């Protein structure tokens, strides 16, 4: 029987469908990986912001992970929102021994500005989970926190990527340029070389879930055995089309369009 590439997301939810687990599963599906999910927090949120958060007890996160890992092949996984230390401990304990690609989107604040991680958990994340990663994908504010320094230029972004690898032990680091002036350029450092992935900045408010979608797209390609640099290239194309063709749903920062690339493909 043919093996289907399997991708797992460990993250919080978004009932409005643009970010978190929902965005990840849509992205896995679009990129032809079999999607699986472990929920860390149920988040009542929409395009306007976060209304309420209910954290899942760590034991239940452990049970969900056991259910998946005892039965299903996992070819690559990603983490998104992990709001507190006990959750991080469970994830570290269950996942550390697995030798498969791990993409961490170090989610800290939603596009709306709402905090999605407890303050004291940030340092724990850096110390215990960052060294397990194959790739970490911070936006600029997240990278600033992780390295304890301001980032004001592309030079700073490149230095941050190197620091995350050499000082904090990330397998590779992709610093995303969504939150800086100019083109939307992301820098990837894999421990040897620096790569730039660039797209024209799209003038839009539809940026809810961009980080989730991008990291899920990278994870999908990695689950298919595609090398890291090529995986980021495919994901950048996917997220750019998803932002470009966003549907403008909701009253706030709208979701991206997860099937945009498919539509573009049809038109070509
Ligand atoms: N307005 C935009 N136009 C084009 N690409 C964008 C835009 N905003 C963000 N991106 C891209 O979307 C991806 C997610 O980046 P970012 O928005 O920085 O992440 P996050 O959602 O974690 O804050 C990156 O590839 C970034 O360059
Ligand atoms: C459950 C969950 N996880 C992550 C985000 C961040 O979204 P963004 O990709 O816009 O930074 C979110 N809003 N909700």
Q: Which atom of ligand 1 is least distant from the CA of 236? A: 25
- Answer whether 17 contacts ligand 2 (Cβ < 6 A): no
Q: Which atom of ligand 2 is least distant from the CA of 43? A: 1
pLDDT digits (tens, 9 = 90+) for 44-70: 999 999 999 999 999 999 999 999 999
| Burial of 30 from C-beta contacts in 10 A (0-12 / 13-18 / 19+) | buried
Distance CA 83, CA 118 (A): 6
Question: Is 212 a catalytic site residue?
Answer: yes
- Determine the pLDDT at residue 192: 98
- Answer whether 110 contacts ligand 2 (Cβ < 6 A): yes
Backbone φ and ψ for 26, nearest 5 degrees, come out as -60, -40
The H or E element that residue 187 is part of is strand 184-189
Q: Which atom of ligand 2 is least distant from the CA of 208? A: 10
Concatenate the DSSP letters of all residues of 111-133 into one string: TTS-B-S-HHHHHHIIIIIGGG-
67 alpha carbon – ligand 1 mean position (Å):
33
pLDDT digits (tens, 9 = 90+) for 185-208: 999 999 999 999 999 999 999 999
* Domain residue extents for the chain: 6-267
Model pTM above 0.80:
yes
92 alpha carbon – ligand 1 mean position (Å):
28
As beta bridge partners, residue 9 has: 37, 78
- Answer whether 186 contacts ligand 1 (Cβ < 6 A): yes
Structure tokens at 7: 């991708």
At the top level of CATH, which class does the domain 6-267 belong to?
alpha beta
- Give the ligand whose atoms come closest to the C-alpha of residue 78: 2
Distance CA 135, CA 146 (A): 14
Least confident range of 2-16, 31-45, 98-112:
98-112
Distance CA 127, CA 168 (A): 7
Distance CA 205, CA 117 (A): 24
């Amino acid at each position: 029987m043919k093996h289907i590439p399997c991708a797992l997301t460990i993250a919080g939810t978004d009932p409005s469908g643009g970010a978190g687990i929902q965005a990840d599963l849509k992205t896995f599906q679009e990129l032809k990986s079999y999607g699986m999910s472990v929920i860390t927090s149920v988040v009542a949120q929409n395009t306007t912001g976060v209304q309420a958060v209910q954290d899942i007890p760590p034991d239940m996160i452990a049970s969900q992970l056991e259910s998946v890992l005892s039965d299903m092949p996992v070819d690559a996984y990603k983490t998104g929102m992990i709001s507190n230390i006990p959750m991080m401990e469970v994830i570290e304990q269950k996942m550390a021994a697995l030798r498969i690609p791990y993409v961490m989107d170090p989610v800290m604040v939603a596009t709306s500005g709402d905090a999605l991680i407890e303050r004291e958990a940030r340092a724990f994340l850096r110390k215990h989970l960052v060294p397990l990663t194959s790739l970490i994908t911070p936006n600029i504010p997240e990278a600033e926190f992780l390295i304890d320094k301001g980032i004001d230029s592309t030079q700073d972004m490149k230095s941050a990527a190197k620091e995350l690898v050499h000082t904090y032990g990330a397998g590779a680091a992709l610093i995303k340029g969504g939150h800086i002036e100019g083109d939307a350029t992301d820098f990837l450092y894999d421990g040897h070389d620096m790569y730039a992935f660039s797209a024209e900045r799209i003038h839009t408010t539809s940026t809810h879930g961009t980080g989730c979608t991008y990291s899920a797209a990278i994870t999908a390609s990695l689950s298919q055995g595609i090398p890291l640099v090529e995986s980021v290239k495919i994901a950048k194309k996917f997220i750019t089309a998803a932002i470009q063709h966003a549907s403008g749903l909701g009253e706030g920062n709208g979701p991206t369009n997860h099937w945009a690339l498919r539509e573009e493909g049809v038109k070509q």
